[in-house]
């Protein structure tokens, strides 16, 4: 009986490549706040997660949502700065 429990626990801890990509995207987005080129990699990983057919547990869905939120906030800030810099006052 103990062996069955350990086998079930071991199977639950194994992550799919989709879940690994979700965690990697989140970490890349966090570091990308300071080192901008990583944001491109985070966006690429986020697309990989969205289009993958592998299962994604709820814990890792939170990573995906957090990554998307970080990327959206940074994109909005970049757009605001871009528009402020190139606004013409006639």
- Averaged over successive runs of 10 residues, the pLDDT of the chain (90 residues) comes to 53 83 96 92 96 93 96 94 84
Per-residue pLDDT, 6? 52
Per-residue pLDDT, 87? 85
Six token digits for residue 50: 């969205």
**Alpha carbons 64 and 21: distance in angstroms, whole number:** 9
Per-residue pLDDT, 5? 54
Per-residue pLDDT, 12? 59
Six token digits for residue 41: 């990699």
Per-residue pLDDT, 89? 73
Q: Give the global pTM.
A: 0.78
φ, ψ for residue 33, nearest 5 deg: -60, -35
């Amino acid at each position: 009986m103990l062996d069955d429990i350990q086998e079930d626990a071991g199977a639950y801890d194994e992550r799919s490549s989709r879940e690994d990509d979700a965690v990697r995207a989140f970490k890349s987005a966090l570091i990308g706040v300071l080192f901008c080129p990583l944001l491109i990699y985070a966006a690429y990983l986020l697309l990989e997660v969205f289009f993958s057919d592998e299962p994604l547990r709820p814990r890792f869905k939170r990573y995906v949502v957090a990554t998307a939120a970080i990327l959206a906030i940074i994109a909005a800030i970049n757009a605001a700065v871009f528009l402020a810099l190139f606004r013409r006052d006639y």
